[in-house]
Structures are given as structure tokens and as C-alpha cells.
Amino acid sequence: MRIDAVSIFPEFFDVLDLSLIGKAQRDGLLELRRHQLRDFTTDRHRTVDDTPTGGGAGMVMKPEPWALALENVLAAPSPAERPVLIIPTPAGDVFTQRTAEELAAREHLVFAAGRYEGIDQRVTDWAQEHFDVLPLSIGDYVLNGGEAAIIVMVEAITRLLPGVLGNPESLDEESHADGLLEYPVYTKPAVWRGHEVPEILLSGNHAKIDEHRRQEQLLRTRRIRPDLYAKHIVAQEEAARRAD
């Protein structure tokens, strides 16, 4: 997979050189290219922002440097497929595990990190000519810029790529893989500071252990995320109806 990330703070993305994503880059599974938006300005002050047309607080990112930066990304040799342009914004569709799975199947992702009050809307409109454009939010809160959201999305997407995780089986069991939260996990010792591991987990009976874990998943999801639990129940009812 190829990923390009454009920002006025490309150093933000240095954390992606650590750990599993760093290794994925060194192993050639992922090519991560970072770009400084200011390199695509044409004035002496390398200006990337301007006042909002129509008035109001804050500043807006000018369209011209964005167009030049994105054209530069398009000019580099690239996987044949039409690239996806992801614009992080609290006004976007919510990024979920499903989104991560869909994006993990693409060959070329481009992330455009806005700062200030956002990027001139016409960049989004123009970019549709060259990219599949996706404005995405990582949740209902406000960040100072898109960089931290990009790091979150790149981590969620790239860990799904074949060869990135040491043990790909952990993908099947983790939270959200099947729409439920993960069951609680334990290691040794069996009793620690008076707290015991559930006895069934020490039994060696794998059918019973699977059943216990499934029950814990359902209880935990109902308690912590009733919204996900309700969706799960609806999906189960539909599956049962189809099986009739």
C-alpha cells in the first residue's frame, strides 16, 4: 500500500516510523510519503491561510497550495487504481472498523491534514476529478488539526494489511471485528492481590471457555455500548429469519 500525507507539520507522522507500522515500512509492505504543504506555496512568507470569505472567526486554508501539493502527489509514479483522498474533519462521516477494512483494500491513500477552521471547500470539490474523496471524522470532539486523526486512521488501516501483524488470528477476536466488544483477558498468576481468574479459564475445556467468553462479550457490550448491542441483536434476528 502507498500512503501520502500532506500537512504543515509533517513531523507529526514520525511516530509512524515506530513499532509495527515502522516495521511494515521497512519490510516494503507500506510506502509512507510525507509532504510539507508550505513547499507548495509561491509567496515569500509561505502563506497557507487567509481570512474566511463572508466573515467570521479564525482562518481558512487557501486552495492554491493544496492543489499544487495534491497534483505533485498525482505526478509521482503511483499504483494504477484511482487514489482515495481522505480529508479529516469533525464534519465528516465517522471512521469505523468497517471504514478501516474498506480502505485497507485500496492501493493508494492520500491524507490532507487541515488546520485552522479547515480547508477551502473548493479543494474537496476540485479533488473529486482525480480522487475518491472521503471527509472523515474520528469521533465527536474537536482536534486542533487533522494530523492526530490521520495517525489514528493510518494505524487502524495498516494493521489490517497482510503481514503487518505478527499473529493475524488476533484480528478475528478483537473488539469490533464482529460488532461486539472484546471479552476481558487474563494471564498468570491465577490469583493476584486477592483477585481470581474466572475458574472456567483454568479448566482446559475449550468449548466451555469459548461459550464463557462469548457471554462476557455480550454482557460487556450491553453494559458499555448499548448502541452496538442493539445493532448486534437486530443483525442476529435478521440472520435467524434468513435461515428459516
Q: Which residues are known binding-site members for S-adenosyl-L-methionine?
A: 114, 138-143
Residues numbered 101 to 130 that lie near ligand 6GU (CB under 6 A) are: none
Residues 125-154: x where in contact with ligand 6GU by CB under 6 A, - otherwise, as a string: -----------xxxx-xxx-xx--x-----
What is the C-alpha to C-alpha distance for residues 189 and 203, in angstroms, rounded to an integer? 15
CB atoms within 10 A of CB 134: 18
Distance set, CA 166 to CA 21, 23, 101, 169, 185 (Å): 12, 11, 18, 9, 19
Residues 70-99: x where in contact with ligand 6GU by CB under 6 A, - otherwise, as a string: ------------------xxx---------
Tell me whether strands 195-196 and 191-192 are parallel, antiparallel or unpaired.
Answer: antiparallel
Q: Give the residue closest to ligand 6GU by C-beta.
A: 88
| Residues near ligand 6GU (CB under 6 A), total | 13
The residue (of 29 and 104) whose beta carbon lies closer to ligand 6GU is 104
Q: Which amino acid is at 186?
A: Y
In a 13 Å sphere around the CA of 98, the CA atoms on its Cβ side amount to: 5
For residue 199 the three cell numbers come to 475458574
Residues 20-49: x where in contact with ligand 6GU by CB under 6 A, - otherwise, as a string: ------------------------------
Distance set, CA 212 to CA 175, 184, 221 (Å): 16, 11, 14
For residue 25 the three cell numbers come to 515500512
The residue (of 156 and 180) whose beta carbon lies closer to ligand 6GU is 156
Least separation, in Å, of the C-beta of 155 and ligand 6GU? 14
Least separation, in Å, of the C-beta of 9 and ligand 6GU? 13
Q: Do 131 and 85 touch, CB atoms closer than 8 A?
A: yes
The residue (of 24 and 149) whose beta carbon lies closer to ligand 6GU is 149
Least separation, in Å, of the C-beta of 94 and ligand 6GU? 8
The residue (of 65 and 88) whose beta carbon lies closer to ligand 6GU is 88
What is the C-alpha to C-alpha distance for residues 88 and 3, in angstroms, rounded to an integer? 15
The residue (of 14 and 93) whose beta carbon lies closer to ligand 6GU is 93
Least separation, in Å, of the C-beta of 51 and ligand 6GU? 19
The residue (of 7 and 217) whose beta carbon lies closer to ligand 6GU is 7
DSSP assignments along 67-103, one per residue: HHHHHHHHHS---SSPPEEEEEEEEEEEP-HHHHHHH
Could you list the residues that contact ligand 6GU (CB under 6 A)? 88-90, 136-139, 141-143, 145-146, 149
